[in-house]
Amino acid sequence: MAQTNADVAVIVPTYNRSAILTETLDSVAAQTWPPAYLIVVDDGSTDETQVVLEKWQTRPLPFPVKIIRQENQGAGIARNAGLHAAPPVRYVAFLDSDDLWPPDFLERTVTLLESNQDAVAAVCKAEYVYQRTFRQEARRQLRLLLTRCGVKSLLEPWLRKRLHRSHEYLPCNPLAWFFRNAVGVNSCTLVRRADALVMGGFDESFLSNEDAPFYLSLSLCGRWIFSPGQPVVIRTDVGRRPDVETNLSEKYDDGGRQWAQAFENFLAHHDVSSHITVKDVNRAMSRKWNIAGNQLRNHRHGNEAAACYRKAFSYNPKNIAVRWNLLINRL
């Protein structure tokens, strides 16, 4: 029986991920419905990425591969380079170079969009894999201990809050979901190529978190559909070398500020009142600016951190974490 190739161009931007890039590309090659085209955009890697790609291309593959090499310019420009190099396929999928697709990701998501022509995107569940720090592991063990000791009820409010972060709930109200959580759906989502081009691709003015304005805008374009089944594996800090920068978005000190600014810019140009309440917007923006301040403070940018905390306070003066950060940032 002839193998079915999905009418999809897969775009993988990468930067210094030679240690784990092969695993990501293997997950594309292992698809039950292979893509029509794979585009890898090497955004100025300084490690062995080129060698890894050349070796990987020597194997028999059920689709053509295009490698684009460019100077390091950021994730947004890298994604757009792949988008504009794609042939006239119906769908595009943006896979981060450290994440892993389940074998039937394209088969499931393409089938859904084919049978739901009014939908703009299909999204599936994500499983997050962290290279845990000692503190993260201690917290995980504490939660397990509390559950085993019969105090699970103490955790139920936290568990309910975590549950609603699941991508399963995203189609109910995509815009509200993005505000209440992060964006973080690049590797989990299949979109129509025509929609991506009409929106102008990714905002190249953002050196990081360029996916925020893209998916926020897409959330207003039409219906999203959830695809049940195996999750996409989202890997954080896995395979990271301490001597080499590896993340296109996290290499900048002010990534959190750009993230918050992306949401603020979106609010300035769109009426979201029919999707999310003012109260929820203010709470979400306060959290985002607080996170931005924490990141800048951790990089010893005290004055810039203070400006972010003041913004966070302006959105939600009742945010205790923001009040505390405003205080200790003066010390």
| CATH of segment(s) 6-131+165-236 | 3.90.550.10
Categorize the per-residue pLDDT at 139 as very low, low, confident or very high, splitting at 50, 70 and 90: low
Average per-residue pLDDT for the chain? 88
Residue 314 has pLDDT above 70, yes or no: yes
Categorize the per-residue pLDDT at 162 as very low, low, confident or very high, splitting at 50, 70 and 90: very low
Decide if 261 contacts 159 (C-beta within 8 A).
Answer: no
Residue 25 has pLDDT above 60, yes or no: yes
Residue 258 has pLDDT above 80, yes or no: yes
- More confident position, 136 or 159: 136
pTM: 0.85
pLDDT digits 0-9 by tens, 221-250: 999 999 999 999 999 865 555 545 555 545
- More confident position, 133 or 303: 303
Residue 160 has pLDDT above 50, yes or no: no
Average pLDDT over residues 209-218: 90
pLDDT digits 0-9 by tens, 110-122: 999 999 999 999 9
End-to-end alpha-carbon separation of the chain, Å? 70
- In this predicted structure, what is the pLDDT of residue 152? 52
Residue 164 has pLDDT above 50, yes or no: no
Domains of the chain: which residue ranges?
6-131+165-236, 256-328
Q: Helices (DSSP H) in the chain: which residue ranges?
A: 21-29, 49-56, 75-85, 105-115, 134-148, 152-163, 174-180, 193-198, 211-218, 255-269, 278-298, 302-315, 320-328
The alpha carbon of 48 is separated from its chain's Cα centroid by a whole number of angstroms, namely 24
Name 197's Cβ contacts closer than 8 Å, sequence gap at least 6.
Answer: 83
Kindly state the percentage of the chain with pLDDT values over 90: 72
- In this predicted structure, what is the pLDDT of residue 43? 96
- In this predicted structure, what is the pLDDT of residue 329? 83
Average pLDDT over residues 174-188: 88
Categorize the per-residue pLDDT at 154 as very low, low, confident or very high, splitting at 50, 70 and 90: low
Kindly state the percentage of the chain with pLDDT values over 70: 84
Average pLDDT over residues 280-288: 96
Decide if 36 contacts 54 (C-beta within 8 A).
Answer: no
Decide if 297 contacts 261 (C-beta within 8 A).
Answer: no
- In this predicted structure, what is the pLDDT of residue 161? 47
The alpha carbon of 232 is separated from its chain's Cα centroid by a whole number of angstroms, namely 12
In DSSP notation, 198-219 reads HTTSS-TT-SS-THHHHHHHHT
User: Which residue matches tokens 């959830």?
Assistant: 226
Q: Collapsing DSSP states into helix, strand and coil, what is residue 282?
A: helix
Q: Which helix (H) or strand (E) holds 67?
A: strand 65-70
Residue 86 has pLDDT above 60, yes or no: yes
Average pLDDT over residues 190-198: 97
Residue 3 has pLDDT above 80, yes or no: no
Q: Helices (DSSP H) in 149-248: which residue ranges?
A: 152-163, 174-180, 193-198, 211-218
Q: Give per-residue burial for 118-133: e unless 16+ CB within 10 Å, then b.
A: ebbbbbbbbeeeeeee
Decide if 91 contacts 116 (C-beta within 8 A).
Answer: no
Residue 1 has pLDDT above 50, yes or no: no
Categorize the per-residue pLDDT at 328 as very low, low, confident or very high, splitting at 50, 70 and 90: confident
- In this predicted structure, what is the pLDDT of residue 129? 86
- In this predicted structure, what is the pLDDT of residue 159? 44
Residue 140 has pLDDT above 80, yes or no: no
Per DSSP, 172 falls in state G
